[in-house]
Chains A and B, each alone.
Chain A
Amino acid sequence: EDKVVQSPLSLVVHEGDTVTLNCSYEVTNFRSLLWYKQEKKAPTFLFMLTSSGIEKKSGRLSSILDKKELFSILNITATQTGDSAVYLCAVEASGGSNYKLTFGKGTLLTVNP
């Protein structure tokens, strides 16, 4: 059974801090790893990672994938209160023409002023 484990489950920081969120996975036929941000509504797409060692960056957020060690990290620098959300990691795997997307339980990030 495919597994995606995120850590920590929750994190409380102060504005300006840098945080690192972790996602490890065990899947068969890995295709990609995705990060989503979920505030009080639907998840919104952040990054898709398919290759090891190539950092994806968007403003203060960045992410990298290690396909050998089967994990990814999401970094947020100079955190702001608007970064408070649940961050979801999902892994896409394929089997023939089908595919499967498995989500982790998420990391709840709270950024205090």
Chain B
Amino acid sequence: DSGVTQTPKHLITATGQRVTLRCSPRSGDLSVYWYQQSLDQGLQFLIQYYNGEERAKGNILERFSAQQFPDLHSELNLSSLELGDSALYFCASSVEGRGREQYFGPGTRLTVT
């Protein structure tokens, strides 16, 4: 158990809908990272927040957004969902702003039908 929690574990929704994924980092970690993992694309970095501020952006679509709250938990919002958004979404956390030793949560499996 990495100490990073993610909810929900599974989510099934229809195309065009909007969902919110939640992540609580390990105690003491200030950085939160979001990743998307699909069979064809592998693990893709989406976005990073450090102490409430956006620090880095990866391959995140405009339909997706995230934020980190004052208590350091983070939410990833996915809107206008498409079939291709079906994937495993991981959250990871680290102490520093530089994402070296990251600890991954168990992931949220999103299925868009």
With both beta carbons as reference points, the residue of chain B lying nearest to A47 in the complex is identified as B101
The answer to whether B98 and A45 have CB atoms under 8 Å apart is: no
**Category for how many chain B residues contact A:** 20 to 34
The answer to whether B44 and A100 have CB atoms under 8 Å apart is: no
The answer to whether B2 and A34 have CB atoms under 8 Å apart is: no
Q: Which residues of A are found within 8 Å of B14, using beta-carbon distances?
A: none
The answer to whether A101 and B104 have CB atoms under 8 Å apart is: no
Number of A residues, CB within 8 Å of B: 23
The answer to whether A103 and B100 have CB atoms under 8 Å apart is: no
The answer to whether B56 and A42 have CB atoms under 8 Å apart is: no
Q: Which residues of A are found within 8 Å of B2, using beta-carbon distances?
A: 42, 44
- A68 in contact (CB, < 8 A): no
In the complex, per-residue mask of B38-59: 1 if CB is within 8 Å of any chain A CB, else 0: 0000111100100000011010
Selected interface stretch from A22-30, A54-62, A75-83, A90-98: A90-98
The answer to whether A34 and B107 have CB atoms under 8 Å apart is: no
The answer to whether A32 and B42 have CB atoms under 8 Å apart is: no
Given the contacts A101-B45, A102-B45, A103-B45, A42 and B100 also touching, CB distance less than 8 Å: no
Report which of B43, B99, B103, B106 forms a contact with A99, defined as CB distance below 8 A. Answer: B99
Q: Which residues of B are found within 8 Å of A45, using beta-carbon distances?
A: 101-103
- A19 in contact (CB, < 8 A): no
- Cα(A45)–Cα(B102), bound, Å: 7
The answer to whether A103 and B43 have CB atoms under 8 Å apart is: yes
Q: Which residues of A are found within 8 Å of B100, using beta-carbon distances?
A: 32, 34, 48, 92
Q: Which residues of A are found within 8 Å of B43, using beta-carbon distances?
A: 43, 88, 90, 103, 106
User: Which are the 4 A-B pairs with shortest beta-carbon distances?
Assistant: A42-B104, A103-B43, A105-B42, A98-B56
Chain B residues at the A interface, C-beta cutoff of 8 Å: 2, 33, 42-45, 48, 55-56, 58, 90, 97-107
